Amino acid sequence: MVELIIDGQKVEVEEGATILEAADKLNIAIPTLCYHENLTPFGACRVCTVEVVVDGVSSLTTACNCPVEQGMEVRTVSERALEARMLAVELLLAKCPGSEAIRSLARDMGIEEPRVELETEGCILCGLCVRTCQELVGVGALRLVDRGLDRDVKETFVEASTDKCIGCGSCAYICPTSFIKLEETGDTRTVWDRVFKLKKCQVCGNYWAPEAQLEYIRKTCNLPSDFFDVCPNCK
């Protein structure tokens, strides 16, 4: 067990836990955006920035992926931490002024309008979609390409035409800026500009999941070919 101090309160957590988890134990809320408890922390958005003092030296770090250390002192609402956090949110807001997730973060911090020029790009490169596709779905159809200013999110099937995407829609669900669009009309679903045919249930006639996704599950779990002819509702 490791003992540390967060905002003047002592807390004991297991070794390897992050600052964010330790703060959660104390019911101290640190805002996050690119963090998701079921995914590996990424530290891309800098919204969870906190001030950490180790051996008298103070530095800024992201709470979501920084492991705790014995005797560490964390300040979540110090002037320095708040300033860094506000700047991060302000820049995110400038990049994506239409996102409700970012707007509510900004509102909570008292930011109305960013001081810099607005862009309408939509993607903030938080990496949530890439991590979801890789870790939760296990497909790995998305990846981040390049570094620094040129960084971009790409589907591998566009780049290398490996046809990995199964159209499950998890990326569209998790995207905090609604940059990834998912549309369903009748028997088709469109995501990443690719059209997926939906499977029709043989009993109720409802379209319930993309055929590519069901095929992927069927192969992974070694299920009989008629396993998905009927939707879970009618089974």
Partner 1 sequence: METLALYVPRLLEKKENFAPGHRACSGCGEALAVRMVMKALGKNVIVVMATGCMEIISTQLPYTSWEVPWIHTLFENTAAVASGVVAGREALTRKGKASSRTKVVAMAGDGATADIGVQALSGALERGHDFTYICFDNEAYMNTGIQRSSATPFGAATTTQPVGKISMGQNTWKKDMPAIAVAHNIPYVATASPSYPFDLMNKVKKARDIEGPAYLHILSVCPTGWRTPSDLSVRIGRLAVETGVFPLYEVENGKYTLNIDPPQLRSVEDYLKLQGRFKHLTPEMIKEIQEKVEAKYAELVEKVLFYDGF
When the beta carbons of 40 and 206 are compared against partner 1, the nearer one is 206
Q: Report the C-alpha gap between 178 and 214 in whole angstroms.
A: 25
Q: Residue 18 to residues 4, 23, 40: CA-CA distances in angstroms?
A: 11, 9, 11
Pick the stretch among 57-65, 68-76, 153-161, 162-170 that binds partner 1 (CB under 8 A): 162-170
Q: How far apart are CA 48 and CA 36, in angstroms?
A: 12
Determine the interface stretch with partner 1 among 45-53, 76-84, 142-150, 165-173 (rule: CB under 8 A): 165-173
Side chain identity, residue 176: P
State which H helix or E strand residue 10 sits in. Answer: strand 9-13
Residue from 10, 205, 219, 222 in contact with partner 1 (CB under 8 A): 205
Q: Which of 12, 15, 37, 83 binds partner 1 (CB under 8 A)?
A: 37
* Min dist. Cβ of residue 9 to partner 1 (A): 17
**SS3 state at 175:** coil
Q: Which of 174, 175, 201, 212 binds partner 1 (CB under 8 A)?
A: 174
Residue 157 binds to partner 1 (criterion: CB under 8 A): no
> Taking CB under 8 A as the criterion, which residues in 58-87 touch partner 1?
none
Phi/psi at 211 (nearest 5 deg)?
A: -60, -40
